[in-house]
Amino acid sequence: MSALPVEATDTTAPPPGATPPSAVLPPAGSPAPKAAPASRRGTRIALPVALAVLAVPLITAAHHSRPTPFGDHLTVHARVDDAESAGMPELRTKGQAVEAYDPGSGKARWTYAREGRRPLKTLGAPGHAFTLWSDGLVTDTARADGGSVRWHRAAPGSAAWLRGAAARGGTGVLQPLTPGARMVAVVTPHRIAAYRAVDGDLRWVLPARTGCAFVPARSVRTRGALLVAQPCASPTASWTSQLIAVDDYGRIVPGRTPLGNGDLGPEK
């Protein structure tokens, strides 16, 4: 029996309607497709870079436009390279701000203000410019160069009385407890609050005796102690109860125990 011839068929041929390969591939000898111009490629790369560069000033501006803590506005007018040789500036309260002036030239070094507040009293110490504000906040500014406001602390329960005290000049409300001002005190009729100068830590609070009130304007510092008048409404109150003495460690009484103030930190 003889075999009949069979026609071989290409099973890989494309289905009907498909584009033949010859229509996809360029004819032999034709030039290769042109690449995108270098300038166009450079534009695609440069555009994201330019947008990133432009975003930096916007981010920086947004950072600087954020409200400052406590409404602080500290402006340095003159740079001080050597604070020790230049000396500590003089401090003045002028309107709504505290100003520091060079002792030699009289030029302003820095100005410190707080939005909607006024400085009630300023106290200068080596390296420190303490300020008590009308809202009861106590601050410490780097006195030599005005480089920073080191700390902010609230005087307990004093804001309401201090608003009225501003009109009276604030005599005696901000006091160094001992020479060197390692501790500063805010004196109001109801209490005395003491802060550590190095970091603003509230070390102790002494309330006035029942029926009595402290008088900040009637105070004097002597022999390492601050004496404050504490008149009482009762006619039978002894004169000794109407005058108290305090120092860095609290009220001075025989056999006292310091109010947790054994370590006041290094002197500044």
Domain of 140, CATH number, reads 2.130.10.10
For the chain, the domain total comes to 1
Q: What is the pLDDT of residue 190?
A: 93
Asked whether residue 39 is domain-assigned, the answer is: no
Task: Quote the CA–CA distance of 251 and 100 in Å, as a whole number.
Answer: 33
| 0.85 exceeded by pTM | no
Q: What is the pLDDT of residue 30?
A: 53
Asked whether residue 13 is domain-assigned, the answer is: no
Q: What is the pLDDT of residue 42?
A: 54
Asked whether residue 49 is domain-assigned, the answer is: no
Asked whether residue 162 is domain-assigned, the answer is: yes
Asked whether residue 83 is domain-assigned, the answer is: yes
Instruction: Tell me the HSE value of 114 on the side-chain side, using a 13 A CA sphere.
Output: 20
Asked whether residue 232 is domain-assigned, the answer is: yes
Asked whether residue 52 is domain-assigned, the answer is: no
Report CA 100 to chain centroid distance, whole Å: 19
In order along the chain (268 residues), what is the average pLDDT of each group of 10 residues? 42 49 51 55 54 46 52 89 70 93 89 94 94 94 94 87 73 89 93 95 94 94 91 89 93 79 53
3-class SS of residue 227: strand
3-state helix, strand, coil in the chain (%, to 5): 20, 35, 45
Q: What is the pLDDT of residue 170?
A: 78
The domain of 128 spans 70-251
Q: How large is the C-alpha radius of gyration of the chain?
A: 38
Q: What is the pLDDT of residue 210?
A: 93
Asked whether residue 14 is domain-assigned, the answer is: no
